Chain A
């Protein structure tokens, strides 16, 4: 989920090339709806979003009883002080800064 369409699309293409099935949304509300419907393994959440921000989305996902096994990875374009802590407080498994390190991303998803 990313409000920046190019960023969302680029990430989707890379993940699809690696063989993952990808759903793209551009805001928190539809992200939640998608998750409830398709029960993904991993959700990438951009922090800077209109309306609900990424932390709120992460927290909401964590409150979903059906999604115990879900991994939530947050991303931000310009990480500010305290972002990492807020991410962890919201129940995020991994917080990444944009641009994502492609090799690291691969290793992060690899074992699954």
Chain B
């Protein structure tokens, strides 16, 4: 089980990690869109509020100019610079904090009444564009000009105008000088974010007011920016994303044409502000993801380390199992060696004896040689068995492998137990390690020997088993076929409680002489080959250990 853990689960962890990363990335990106959308909505509503306020201001100016014009008309044109008329104008001016001055221009362009009088020079304004527009077009009720730099040195203003007189007779123009600086101050007052930017333009592209950096570019045309080149021609209000236009950085811009005027207000918010909260979330998510990655890496590292530790432990135990089995073998092999040397020694005595005849000597010689050969074979077995080899799962002919270990098993069983091998006909090859199989069989036979108190019969059968007569097969392997190796002894058998604990490491019924590792080695081995095992036993009825080896996959293209 442990052997297979890392690779399969590592892949699963990588998939989980990738899914988590994708999810977090998607959420973070979606969060960015949401944040920008929110910034866009806030800038749009800001623009709408400002447009409403400014529009209201200009409507008030328009009405005031209308009232003044009506009074002028009713009085049939008050004498130039009439103090009473000027007083009326000044009174009205006080209600309009954003208007610096109101003045009337006569039909010839001469300044007739001016709230600034007498500071103003005697001017002719017939060359002003608004004057010409009104002069030329009687149907034109009012205009709002592009910013104009005051000739009396009071800065930039917009001329909000209204025609004087009735349709047929042109009596001049009433003008309110709307101070550009007022809007800047207003933008300042409403308290925007430090990176927000507000601008008021004439629809010809000329900048009227801005905040921050109030004075930069006033009176200049910004016809080239996307607002005028692309967006305004399409819609009178809207939002768009831009970069480095007028102000540096990525920005969301909302604009709106102020109703009843040729003015456009634009509110631009920086991504830096819009995304500041999102950025914190994203950093949090990134840190979380990093932490998750680190945790997974640590987990994998830990599992790998545990795995290699378990692997080392398994190898160590395998070796211990082998030594244990070897120890069990040693007694009976020593006995055999003693006998063999005994035969050699006595036959040497026969050879040395003067009274021996030719035939006796030949016989003694061949007996001694045979004993030497058998001893050599025994040594070979012993060395083969003691050699430490790593697990090597290959395709093994189980019946043949069992038959090959027969002599070794006979030694393990001792001289009074009979080892009987019953092969089960044509069997497919199984997944197995022949060396480990040998150790497992020695362990089982040693157990059988001990259970039989020295003498009896151990039968090893190999047969094909389908899952019907196969016992506790692993889930998910029901389609697999198994070759069963049954080791049956005529020993004392085990009571149920012993049988249940038989596979536990260090569980033994042999007191000091047992390590309790024999059957657990067999169990571990069966786990490694992907098989299973079962013990049938009852007191007085002997014990049968069934080992189920998975049938090896048929070689590609070959016969099964």
- B338 CB contact (under 8 Å) in A11, A18, A78, A101: A78
Give per-residue flags for A32-60: 1 if the beta carbon is below 8 A from chain B beta carbons, else 0. 00000000000000001011000000000
- List CB contacts (< 8 Å) of B184-232 with chain A: none
Q: Which B residue's beta carbon lies closest to that of A101? A: B345
**B28 at interface (Cβ–Cβ under 8 A)?**
no
**B480 at interface (Cβ–Cβ under 8 A)?**
no
Would you call the interface of chain B mostly helix, strand, loop, or mixed? helix
**A63 at interface (Cβ–Cβ under 8 A)?**
no
Pair A99/B455 contact, Cβ less than 8 Å: no
**A108 at interface (Cβ–Cβ under 8 A)?**
no
Pair B336/A10 contact, Cβ less than 8 Å: no
CA distance A78 to B337 in the complex (A): 8
Residues of B within 8 Å of A3, CB to CB, are 415
Pair A100/B360 contact, Cβ less than 8 Å: no
CA distance A13 to B371 in the complex (A): 16
Residues of B within 8 Å of A98, CB to CB, are 338-339, 341-342
Quick check: which of B253-261, B347-355, B497-505, B514-522 contacts chain A, the rest being far away? Answer: B347-355
Pair B342/A99 contact, Cβ less than 8 Å: yes
CA distance A10 to B351 in the complex (A): 11
Q: Which A residue's beta carbon lies closest to that of B355? A: A17
> Which residue among A10, A18, A98 has the maximum number of chain B CB atoms within 10 Å of its CB?
A10
Residues of A within 8 Å of B338, CB to CB, are 76-78, 97-99
Pair A77/B337 contact, Cβ less than 8 Å: yes
Q: A10-B364, A17-B350, A17-B353 are in contact. Are A100 and B345 (CB under 8 A)?
A: yes
Give per-residue flags for A85-112: 1 if the beta carbon is below 8 A from chain B beta carbons, else 0. 0000000000001111110000000000
Pair A50/B416 contact, Cβ less than 8 Å: yes
CA distance A100 to B345 in the complex (A): 7
CA distance A11 to B364 in the complex (A): 11
CA distance A51 to B334 in the complex (A): 21
**B384 at interface (Cβ–Cβ under 8 A)?**
no
> How many of chain B's residues have a CB under 8 angstroms from any CB in A?
29
**A30 at interface (Cβ–Cβ under 8 A)?**
no
Pair A6/B371 contact, Cβ less than 8 Å: yes
**A7 at interface (Cβ–Cβ under 8 A)?**
yes
Residues of A within 8 Å of B371, CB to CB, are 6
- B339 CB contact (under 8 Å) in A14, A77, A101: A77
> Closest CB-CB distance, A95 to chain B, in whole Å?
13
CA distance A26 to B355 in the complex (A): 27
Residues of A within 8 Å of B416, CB to CB, are 50
> Which residue among B335, B348, B363 has the maximum number of chain A CB atoms within 10 Å of its CB?
B335
**B344 at interface (Cβ–Cβ under 8 A)?**
yes
- A13 CB contact (under 8 Å) in B331, B334, B346: B346
**B378 at interface (Cβ–Cβ under 8 A)?**
no
Pair B370/A6 contact, Cβ less than 8 Å: yes
Q: Which A residue's beta carbon lies closest to that of B348? A: A102
Pair A99/B341 contact, Cβ less than 8 Å: yes
Residues of A within 8 Å of B349, CB to CB, are 14, 17, 102
Give per-residue flags for A1-36: 1 if the beta carbon is below 8 A from chain B beta carbons, else 0. 001101101110110011000000000000000000
Pair A13/B336 contact, Cβ less than 8 Å: no
> Closest CB-CB distance, B229 to chain A, in whole Å?
108
Pair B334/A78 contact, Cβ less than 8 Å: yes
> Closest CB-CB distance, B319 to chain A, in whole Å?
25
CA distance A76 to B341 in the complex (A): 12
> Closest CB-CB distance, A16 to chain B, in whole Å?
9
- B346 CB contact (under 8 Å) in A14, A48, A77, A78: A14
CA distance A14 to B355 in the complex (A): 10
CA distance A98 to B338 in the complex (A): 5
Q: Which A residue's beta carbon lies closest to that of B368? A: A10
**B308 at interface (Cβ–Cβ under 8 A)?**
no
Residues of B within 8 Å of A13, CB to CB, are 346-347, 350, 360, 363-364
Pair A7/B415 contact, Cβ less than 8 Å: no
Pair B339/A11 contact, Cβ less than 8 Å: no
> Closest CB-CB distance, A7 to chain B, in whole Å?
5
Residues of A within 8 Å of B336, CB to CB, are 77
Residues of B within 8 Å of A51, CB to CB, are 455
**B356 at interface (Cβ–Cβ under 8 A)?**
yes
Q: A50-B455, A78-B334, A102-B346 are in contact. Are A14 and B341 (CB under 8 A)?
A: no
Known: A6-B367, A6-B370, A102-B346. 18 other contacts (CB 8 A): A7-B343, A10-B342, A10-B346, A10-B350, A13-B350, A13-B360, A13-B363, A17-B360, A48-B415, A50-B455, A51-B455, A75-B342, A77-B334, A77-B335, A78-B331, A78-B338, A99-B342, A100-B346
Q: Which 3 A-B pairs have the closest CB atoms?
A: A77-B338, A10-B346, A78-B334
Sampled A-B contacts (22; CB under 8 Å): A6-B343, A6-B370, A7-B339, A7-B343, A10-B364, A13-B360, A13-B364, A14-B349, A17-B353, A48-B335, A50-B415, A50-B455, A76-B338, A77-B334, A77-B337, A77-B338, A98-B341, A99-B342, A99-B344, A100-B346, A102-B345, A102-B346
